[in-house]
């Protein structure tokens, strides 16, 4: 038995090793087609809610100190997680890594990339002792990282498929509650500006009634960071039952919303104690929304350009110092 440094020595609960593993995913990273070459920490965080209890303990050990895990044996990690080596191996496969040696290599590479990006510990949670300058640094770092990691793991092939169904849709209804309602409204507004018939809903009853009148050829988009918002999941389920194509945008590819979605797009944002991660999650979602908007506009380029010009001219006269055509009015010179 090797000497365990840093990790506590605890008894192994072998009963945990028989916990059922999440369903295997042929794409390797579990739902949404996440790229197996993306950060292992991103995949672990996104898949965490769907892991077995013992595997979640392994995940916590890895997330708490990934650089240390990269240097430890599988026995040491099993002891630290109060589980068996078999469970550690099953955890590796559940997150799309072939085995523990491959996990160590991936963690070492990820640690090196993180160190190269920033010499300061900006990735940590905001603490009550942080001054305003530290808060600004940590929040901006979290937001930038959410966009970067979302782009790294985004399934481009699935994104293309979603763009295709949105571009061909007779009607697009977008559902989101709470903070996700703002993201839903942003997608609706963008599609509306390029001439696509679209609506966004956040009221539970209206979401359900709108879903009930959708049909084949229509698209319903459900936006939920956790993927477990009951109202959004139920609206997407009703839309699917009535023949609409359903799309989910979530941070967790094995969350309930993915079970009622024909297409799944995933973000990669972290939640923190002071909710800086909540803002990061919206920014990550909006990044995907922008990609969808541009993709749909490209599918209908001439129509989109004409619609954008028309809508820009329509609101141009309602801005101070701007003419309806979008050009600035000349300044009046006083006598």
86, two tokens: 């078999």
Provide the pLDDT for residue 245: 99
In 171-323, at which residue ranges do the beta strands (DSSP E only) sit? 172-175, 198-201, 219-223, 245-250, 263-266
- Which residue(s) pair with 200 in the sheet? 174
Confidence class for position 34, pLDDT limits 50, 70, 90: very low
Provide the pLDDT for residue 332: 56
Confidence class for position 63, pLDDT limits 50, 70, 90: very high
Provide the pLDDT for residue 327: 60
CB atoms within 10 A of CB 197: 12
Give the C-alpha separation, 113 to 300, whole Å. 39
Domain with residues 156-299, CATH architecture? 3-Layer(aba) Sandwich (3.40)
**14-117 and 156-299 agree in CATH topology:** no
Give the C-alpha separation, 111 to 100, whole Å. 16
Task: Identify the CATH assignment for 14-117 out of 3.40.50.2300, 1.10.10.10, 1.10.357.10, 1.10.3720.10.
Answer: 1.10.10.10
194, two tokens: 């390029």
> Highest mean pLDDT range out of 48-57, 104-113, 121-130, 198-207?
198-207
- Those residues whose C-beta lies under 8 Å from the C-beta of residue 207, and which sit 6 or more positions away, are 175, 201, 231, 232, 234, 235
In 163-262, at which residue ranges do the beta strands (DSSP E only) sit? 172-175, 198-201, 219-223, 245-250
CB atoms within 10 A of CB 111: 18
Question: Domain ranges in the chain?
Answer: 14-117, 156-299
Torsion sign across C-alpha atoms 95, 101, 107, 109: negative
184, two tokens: 């839903």
Q: What is the mean pLDDT of residues 150-179?
A: 96
Provide the pLDDT for residue 201: 98
Q: What is the pLDDT of residues 69-127, one digit of tens each?
A: 999 999 999 999 999 999 999 999 999 998 999 999 999 888 777 665 554 445 566 77
Q: Are 70 and 104 in contact (CB under 8 A)?
A: yes
pLDDT surpassing 80 at residue 10:
no
Give the C-alpha separation, 335 to 331, whole Å. 13
Give the C-alpha separation, 314 to 194, whole Å. 13
Confidence class for position 270, pLDDT limits 50, 70, 90: confident
Q: What is the pLDDT of residues 214-239, one digit of tens each?
A: 999 999 999 999 999 999 999 999 99
238, two tokens: 């009703």
Higher pLDDT: 327 or 199? It is 199
- Those residues whose C-beta lies under 8 Å from the C-beta of residue 324, and which sit 6 or more positions away, are 313, 314, 316, 317
Provide the pLDDT for residue 324: 57
């Amino acid at each position: 038995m090797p000497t365990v440094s840093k990790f506590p020595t605890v008894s192994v609960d072998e009963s945990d090793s028989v916990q059922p593993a999440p369903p295997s995913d042929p794409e390797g990273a579990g739902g949404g087609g996440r790229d197996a070459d993306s950060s292992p920490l991103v995949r672990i965080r996104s898949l965490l809610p769907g892991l077995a209890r013992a595997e979640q303990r392994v995940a916590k050990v890895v997330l708490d100190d990934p650089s240390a895990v990269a240097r430890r044996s599988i026995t040491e990690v099993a002891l630290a997680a109060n589980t068996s080596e078999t469970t550690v191996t099953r955890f590796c496969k559940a997150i799309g890594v072939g085995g523990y040696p491959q996990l160590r290599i991936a963690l070492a590479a990820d640690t090196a990339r993180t160190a190269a990006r920033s010499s300061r510990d900006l990735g940590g949670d905001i603490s009550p002792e942080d001054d305003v300058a530290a808060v600004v640094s940590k929040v901006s770092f979290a937001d930038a990282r959410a966009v970067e990691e979302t782009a790294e793991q985004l399934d481009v092939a699935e994104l293309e498929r979603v763009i295709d169904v949105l571009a061909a849709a007779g009607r697009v209804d977008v559902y989101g509650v709470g903070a996700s309602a703002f993201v839903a409204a942003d997608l609706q507004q963008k599609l509306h500006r390029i001439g696509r018939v679209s609506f966004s809903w956040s009221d539970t009853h209206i979401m359900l009634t709108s879903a009930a009148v959708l049909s084949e050829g229509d698209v319903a988009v459900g936006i939920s960071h956790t993927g477990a918002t009951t109202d959004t999941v139920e609206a997407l389920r009703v839309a699917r039952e009535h023949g609409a194509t359903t799309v989910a945008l979530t941070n967790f590819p094995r969350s309930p919303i993915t079970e009622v979605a024909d297409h799944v797009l995933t973000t990669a944002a972290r939640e923190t104690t002071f909710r800086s991660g909540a803002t990061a999650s919206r920014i990550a979602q909006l990044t995907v929304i922008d990609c969808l908007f541009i993709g749909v506009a490209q599918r209908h380029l001439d129509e989109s350009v004409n619609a954008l010009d028309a809508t820009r001219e329509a609101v141009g006269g309602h801005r101070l110092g701007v003419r309806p055509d979008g050009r600035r009015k000349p300044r009046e010179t006083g006598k």
